[in-house]
Structure 1
Amino acid sequence: MTERVVRPAWSPAEPGSIEALQVVYKVAERCNINCTYCYYFNMGEETAFDRPSLASGDVTEALARWIAQGCEELRIPCAKIAFHGGEPTLIGVRRFGEACRRLREIIEPVASVLLSIQTNGTLLDDQWIAAFAEHGVAVGVSIDGPQAVNDRFRLDRHGRSSFGRTEDAIRRLVAAHGPGTPLPSTVSVMHGDNDYREVYRYLRALGVRDMTFLLPDRNADDVEFISSGAAKQYGSCLSDLFHAWFSEDNTDVHIRFVDQMLDHFRPDVAPGQAFRRPRKENQVVIARSDGTVAIDDTFIPALGWYSGTPVCSTGDTSLREFLAEPVFLEVEETFNTLPGGCAGCRWRQVCRGGDLENRFSKRNGFDNPSVYCDAYKVMYQYVCDELVRNGYPGELITAKFGNA
């Protein structure tokens, strides 16, 4: 039996329904390194190679006008535009600066604009650092940890380490930090054999304060992974990250999954309440180098489903028309429906079955517990134990989540 979150009626195509539009702009559909775990190039979805390697100025101009029209029509107050790829710095610093200027000039009369870039850092130099400062661009750098950790998967196309250039980029960005120039954030893909207390200490020693750790992309057809019990090791890794963060006791340091998880432990928040919002906090749209738009491509691990989702052109489909595609309500409905296998779990109101792509199977669609179900159980129990040891009321945990 499935369980649904009680949530006010919502439609992404109705004015006033979205707090922020996040456009992930694939300005480069190629990459200069070859991360073996990359969902974009190495998970069977190969249409990127059919699109231009770099987005043109005309595509950027059309995208900016499409976003501005959509934000005005749907009364969206904020547009978050993330330069992405592939490797977005392949576009070159001059064209990047031109894109930033046009996006701001066209969109800011109707909505605030937040610009960011997610990069492997290997091409960054002082010109790039200056461009980020000039255009107010927040920078995220992909790095998995110290060199031995990073070299496990993040090699260039000749099998050589990309670590030195990436670490140097982070050091440059940290050194450039000042008023109006935020510290870089990092994104790390996890592996069960890594020591995440060490990884945390390494990133903090670089000066990083905002970190995101991602579980590797898998879906529920990965029977071998599920049956092996390997997910529990990832639970230990997540627990180690929480321990390192909690032990440092620095409120200026943020780990995304920790921030999201601890929302559920606030005394004034009922179980599952963090998921019940009348407006969509962050509606993701993917903009591609050929002028088309698509749904969130982090769903690519659910390729059997993702490959059938709509792709539209900014030239003939408005943002409102695109968001009226049934797939957006399908995603929302799926997110708000607990998989049948999760009904008796004490943590169901915290994880809601996990990320959708990790729930997908060819047989059951998204009606499966996450392949990382055991990882979450290990982590949540560890967090509860740590909180209680440090004075959090045990009876409140029982009231929220039941007994172990």
Structure 2
Amino acid sequence: MTAPAAVPFRHLLLKVHSRCNLACRYCYVYEHVDQSWRDRPKVMAHEVIDVAARRFAEHAVTWDLPRVAVTFHGGEPLLAGPDVLEYAIGAMRDAMPAGVAVRFTVQTNGILLTEPILDLFRRHQVRVGVSLDGGRQANDRERRFANGRGSYHQVAAGLAALRAEKYRHLYGGLLCTVDVRNDPVEVYEDLLAFAPPRIDLLLPHGNWTQPPPARIPGDPRTPYADWLIPIFDRWYDAPRRETDIRLFSAIMSLLLGGPSDTESVGLTPIDFVIVETDGAIEQGDALKTAAEGEAATGCNVLDHRFDDILGLPGIRARQTGLAGLGATCRACPLVQVCGGGHYAHRYEATSGFTNPSVYCADLQRLIRHIHGRMSEDLHRLTADTSTGTNS
């Protein structure tokens, strides 16, 4: 069988700052086995920004890409300051040839969302995603400052600024890390209070060797599915769609034979790459929870092209669909929807990434529940159509 062709990188995550003003206890960058952040510059230098921009432009031309995306990331990217962010935006735009559109986003903890930074984002149409884990009690369990003080009120103030009329169109949504100690529907309602256009529910990064909280490898219980399903039902049963929840929308799309826009489920090839503050080209940050150096590629934008890493085993495993999965996943009837789960969640110290997700039982239960709800509605609509009933 011929291996699928490589997929170009359409999305660049630019780590403009490598430190953070929070000390979230679940953080996959600072609190797990890979501590490479300690040896990196705090802020990305202009030289590295310029070279990264040229490399990404070169990649876009090589692959004839009509549009690309750049996300400013960290650490906390707003710590880099408005001058660095504006320089990076200009460098990316100047490097791209005519005909290649660039879309900018930033993922932030929201604490530094002030009017001056929002004015910069409005000038350059930068979409803003904010991390928030629910209301004050839920958020402040883990999302704290180094002195133990909670961050909720500062994030809420940042969101209030972002939601002001002149900036509201920049609001991309909220990212919430699941904590099964919190009431799920209460978390959802608290997030809805900020009127997000989209919510990302992120399963805590972990694996078979370093399991996530409340997930005992091999245990048939499904604490994360049990937490997610009440939110799905609340969201699905709402009389009008209050927001998009990316995990649920992706599963529904996959069940109907469509694509996924998240690496958490499905077999859609990954198309993003990361550049660290020192110019190192890396794979997804979640791999930092597996083992020291798992996210590393050995390449740097100062010396290498993005094409140079397309053949790496970790990249190929996430671009080759079924061929990149272990035997257990390939034989599973849900594989087209689950896709083996997030690549980092498959890791085990002796067998690597050829395992099902550490969340396998949770994903199976969640997918089957969503399938059941959709099937009920489709059967009801079919019955209504056949009898001429309007509902």
Cα offset for 1:344?
Answer: 5.7
Corresponding residue for 1:295?
283
- Measure, in 2, the Cα distance between the counterparts of 1:128 and 1:335: 43
- What are the superposed Cα offsets for residues 120-179 of structure 1, whole Å, 9 maximum, x if unpaired? 011111111111111110100011000100011100011111111111111211224568
Partner letter of residue 274 of structure 2?
A: I
Partner letter of residue 47 of structure 1?
A: S
- 145 and 335 in structure 1: CA distance in 2 versus 1, 3 angstrom threshold: farther
- Measure, in 1, the Cα distance between the counterparts of 2:221 and 2:29: 23
- Measure, in 2, the Cα distance between the counterparts of 1:390 and 1:197: 22
- Measure, in 2, the Cα distance between the counterparts of 1:29 and 1:351: 32
Corresponding residue for 1:246?
236
Say whether the 8 Å CA contact 1:74–1:320 is kept in structure 2: no
Say whether the 8 Å CA contact 1:129–1:176 is kept in structure 2: no
Secondary structure at 1:152's aligned position in 2?
A: coil
Q: More displaced, 104-113 or 235-244?
A: 104-113
Corresponding residue for 2:356?
369
Is residue 159 of structure 1 aligned with residue 148 of structure 2? yes
Report the RMSD for the aligned CA atoms in angstroms.
2.8
Secondary structure at 2:14's aligned position in 1?
A: strand
Secondary structure at 2:215's aligned position in 1?
A: helix
- What are the superposed Cα offsets for residues 286-338 of structure 1, whole Å, 9 maximum, x if unpaired? 1111122122222222226716x422121221222232445422443476444
Indicate which of 25, 28, 36 corresponds to 1:47.
36
Indicate which of 310, 313, 334 corresponds to 2:297.
310
Corresponding residue for 2:101?
112
Say whether the 8 Å CA contact 1:11–1:329 is kept in structure 2: no
Corresponding residue for 2:90?
101
Cα offset for 1:216?
Answer: 0.7
- Measure, in 2, the Cα distance between the counterparts of 1:194 and 1:152: 9
Q: More displaced, 164-173 or 243-252?
A: 243-252
Secondary structure at 1:191's aligned position in 2?
A: coil
- 10 and 191 in structure 1: CA distance in 2 versus 1, 3 angstrom threshold: same
Partner letter of residue 5 of structure 2?
A: S
Corresponding residue for 1:256?
246
- 327 and 258 in structure 1: CA distance in 2 versus 1, 3 angstrom threshold: closer
Indicate which of 151, 175, 195 corresponds to 1:187.
175
- What are the superposed Cα offsets for residues 74-133 of structure 1, whole Å, 9 maximum, x if unpaired? 222222111000000001112212221221122253521111100001111111111111
Corresponding residue for 1:136?
125
- What are the superposed Cα offsets for residues 247-281 of structure 1, whole Å, 9 maximum, x if unpaired? 22434621111111001232x669xxx9577xx5x
Corresponding residue for 1:10?
4
Q: More displaced, 186-195 or 336-345?
A: 336-345
- Provide TM-score, normalisation by structure 1: 0.84
- 331 and 342 in structure 1: CA distance in 2 versus 1, 3 angstrom threshold: closer
- Measure, in 1, the Cα distance between the counterparts of 2:221 and 2:123: 43
Partner letter of residue 291 of structure 2?
A: L
Aligned length: 375
Unaligned runs of 5+ in 1: 1-5, 396-404
Give the % identical residues. 26
Q: More displaced, 105-114 or 235-244?
A: 105-114
Q: More displaced, 191-200 or 344-353?
A: 344-353
Say whether the 8 Å CA contact 2:266–2:341 is kept in structure 1: no
Secondary structure at 1:383's aligned position in 2?
A: helix
- Measure, in 2, the Cα distance between the counterparts of 1:110 and 1:360: 40
Corresponding residue for 1:321?
308
Partner letter of residue 248 of structure 1?
A: A
- Measure, in 1, the Cα distance between the counterparts of 2:380 and 2:332: 21
Partner letter of residue 160 of structure 2?
A: R
- Measure, in 1, the Cα distance between the counterparts of 2:367 and 2:330: 17
- Measure, in 1, the Cα distance between the counterparts of 2:349 and 2:297: 19
- Measure, in 2, the Cα distance between the counterparts of 1:374 and 1:43: 24
Secondary structure at 2:106's aligned position in 1?
A: strand
Q: Which has the higher contact order (CA 8 A, sep 6+)?
A: 1
Say whether the 8 Å CA contact 1:285–1:293 is kept in structure 2: yes
Is residue 70 of structure 1 aligned with residue 64 of structure 2? no
- Provide TM-score, normalisation by structure 2: 0.87
Q: More displaced, 288-297 or 25-34?
A: 288-297
Partner letter of residue 281 of structure 2?
A: V
